[in-house]
Structure 1
C-alpha cells in the first residue's frame, strides 16, 4: 500500500465533503503514515448558524489495506430539550453542509420517526431535506394562519406562544385558555385545537365561553369556527348577553349567506349549550329600515350611519342621540331580528318601551304645519275686525 497516495486521496475526498480543517489533515496524516492496525476516527466541530455541529469521521480498510472513509456521524444540541442531541449517521458521499442542514431541520421535527443509526446516502439526505423544508413551510403557513384567525376573532396574541409550543410538541389535540373583559364583565375562553391527518395541519375548531354573572349562575356556551371565520370573542359575549349578531355563514354546499344569530333560551344542544336561532335575509328583518326616520342623529351622516349599523350587526347595544322637545336625549338600542324591531334601553341599560323612540322629525313637521296655519289665519282675522260695515 502506498501511504502517500492513500493520504492524498483521502485528504482530497474529505476536502470535497467540506472537511478541510487543519485538525482533520493532521490526524489523517498521523494514522495513515503510522500504519496503525486499529480503526481510527476523527472528531471535529463546525459552525451551524448560531450553534455548533459535532462530527465524527469513521474510517476502515479496504481489501488492499488502504484506509477509507466508512461513514460520518453528525450531532447537534436539541434546542427544545436541554441535555439531549439530534443525531444522524451519513454515508461517505454526504457533504458536511447537507448533513448540517438536515440536522437543523430536525430541530423543527422533534418527533420524526427515523432510525438515526442507519446511514443516509446523499440522495436520501437530499430527499429528507426537501420533504422537511416543504413540511416546515407548510407548518409555518399553518401557524401563521392560526395566529391570523385568532387575531381576527378578537383573541389577540395572548395564546400565540403557547400555541407554537403545543404544535412543536406534535400534540394530537390541545386546549388553550384566554380571558377578556367587556363592560366590566369577565369572560373565560377555552380554545380547542386539533391536528389533521399525519399531524401535518392544525385546526382551530371551536371555543367555549364562560360568562360570570356575579352571584348569578355562570353561562357556558360553545361556538364553532368555520373556515377561519366564526363568532368573535366580543360577539360571543353579546350573544350570551341575549343580543343578536349578523354573520356571514356557509351552507352545506359551501355557499355563503348572511343571517342574524341569537341564542335560543328554550332549546339546548347535546353538549348543554343553547341552540342558535338563525334569521336569514328571507326572514325580512332590515335593521337600517327599522331605525331610519326615527330622528336618530347618528343616521344623519353616511359615516355615522355606517358606524351605527356596523355596531348593531356585531351585537352591541349602541348609544344613539334623539332630539326631543328641543333637547338631545341619549338611548341605547340593539337589534331584535326575531320581532323585526330594535330593543331600547335607558342610560342604565334598563329596557324601556320602544314607543319612547319617537319620530321628532314627523312631530316637528306637524308643529310647523300648525304654526303656518295659525300665521295665515291671524292676519285674516285682524283684517275682518277692522273692516267697515256698509251703510
Structure 2
C-alpha cells in the first residue's frame, strides 16, 4: 500500500474514536502482508470498560487493506457484559458503540441500497439476537415522527433557553450520550437521553434512577400553583399595608 493510503486508513480509525496510538501497529501489520488482522483498543468510561477489536482485511482485487468492522464489548462494574459487531457502513464511532451497548439511541445519516441518503435513530435490541449472534439494529426514520427538540420542549429544561447550551444538548443527545441538565423549579442536576422508540426523552437522577415524567410535571405544576398563591398573598398584604399608610396620612391635620 502507498503511504497516502496508509495515512488515510490511520485517519479513518482516528476519527472513529480509536486515537492515534494504533497508527504504528497498523503500519507493521500491513507490512506483514497477512490476508486479515486485528488491532486491539480499550477505554474506561467511568467505572465501565470498553474493549474493541478492529478488523482489517486485504482486498483480492487491488491488494488494499480495508477497515471493515469492529467488535465492541462493554464490561459493567458488576462484571456483566454486552457485545456487538459494528460494520463500517453503519458509520458508528467508538463512543457511539458504548452508548448503543448502554441501550441508548444514536442519530445517523445512512445510505440505502440505491445509494440514497436518509437519517434515522439507531438502537440495539439487547433483549434478542439474530441468526448471526448479533443484536438486531432497530431504526426509527425521520418519518417515524420523533422530534427531539419538541420532546425536550415538554420539560422546563434550563439548557433549552440559550442557543449555545441548546445546540450542545441536541448534538450530545444525537450522539447517544446522557447529558446533564437543570430543571426549572427543581433543585439539583439531572441526566437526559433521547428515547425515539416512544417519541420522548428519558430523565434520570444522578444515581441512574429513572424519573417518571408525568409525576415530575404534576410536581412542577403543583409548585407553580403554590408559588402563584404565595405571590398573590404577598401582593395582597402589600396592598393592604399601602392602604393603611394612605389612610393614616389623610387623618393628619395641619
Query: Which 4+ stretches in 1 moved above 6 angstroms?
Result: none
* 1:163 aligned to which of 26, 34, 52: 26
Q: Alpha carbons of 1:330 and 1:195: their partners in 2 closer, same or farther (altered >3 Å)? A: same
> In structure 2, what is the equivalent of residue 131 of structure 1?
none
Q: CA deviation at 1:354?
A: 1.8
Distance 1:200 1:315 in 2: 36
Cα deviation for residue 152 of structure 1 reads 1.3
Match of 1:205 among 68, 86, 92: 68
Cα distance in 2 for residues equivalent to 1:362 and 1:207: 50
Q: 1:235 corresponds to which residue?
A: 96
Structure 1 CA distance, aligned partners of 2:140 and 2:111?
A: 14
- Of 196-205 and 170-179, the range deviating more from structure 2: 196-205
Q: Higher Cα Rg: structure 1 or 2?
A: 1
Distance in structure 2 (CA, Å) of the matches to 1:180 and 1:242: 18
Query: Is 252-261 or 265-274 further displaced after alignment?
Result: 265-274
2:124 corresponds to 1:253: no
Deviations 1:105-137 (A, max 9, x none): xxxxxxxxxxxxxxxxxxxxxxxxxxxxxxx6x
Are 1:298 and 2:156 matched, yes or no?
no
8 Å CA contact retained: 1:317, 1:334: yes
Task: Pick 1 or 2: higher relative contact order, CA cutoff 8 A, min separation 6.
Answer: 2
- Paired residues in the alignment total 241
With normalisation by structure 2, the TM-score equals 0.84
Structure 1 counterpart of 2:192 = 333
| Alignment partner of 2:177 out of 316, 322, 339 | 316
1:352-381 residue CA offsets vs partner (Å, 9 max, x unmatched): 2123543859974995599569958x77xx
Q: Quote how far apart the aligned CAs of 1:292 are.
A: 1.3
Map of 1:115-130 to 2, 5 A cutoff? none
- Give CA-to-partner distance per residue, 1:24-75, whole Å, 9 cap, x none: xxxxxxxxxxxxxxxxxxxxxxxxxxxxxxxxxxxxxxxxxxxxxxxxxxxx
Where does residue 107 of structure 1 map in the other structure?
Answer: none
Q: Please tell me the root mean square deviation across aligned C-alpha atoms, in Å.
A: 2.8
Q: What TM-score results when the alignment is normalised by the length of structure 1?
A: 0.56
Q: Is the 8 A contact 2:53 2:72 kept in 1?
A: yes
User: 1:277 is matched with which residue?
Assistant: 138
Q: Which residue in 1 is equivalent to 2:250?
A: none
Structure 2 counterpart of 1:172 = 35
Superposed displacement of residue 185, structure 1: 0.9
Q: Quick check: 2:47–2:76 contact (8 Å CA) kept in 1?
A: no
SS in 2 for 1:243: coil
State the alpha-carbon separation in 2 of the partners of residues 358 and 245 from structure 1. 26
Any unmatched runs of 5+ in structure 1? 1-135, 387-391
What does residue range 1-391 of structure 1 map to in structure 2 within 5 Å? 139-226=2-89, 230-324=91-185, 328-358=187-217, 364=224, 368=228, 371=231
SS at the partner of 1:268? coil
- Stretches of structure 2 lacking an aligned partner (at least 5 in a row): 248-254
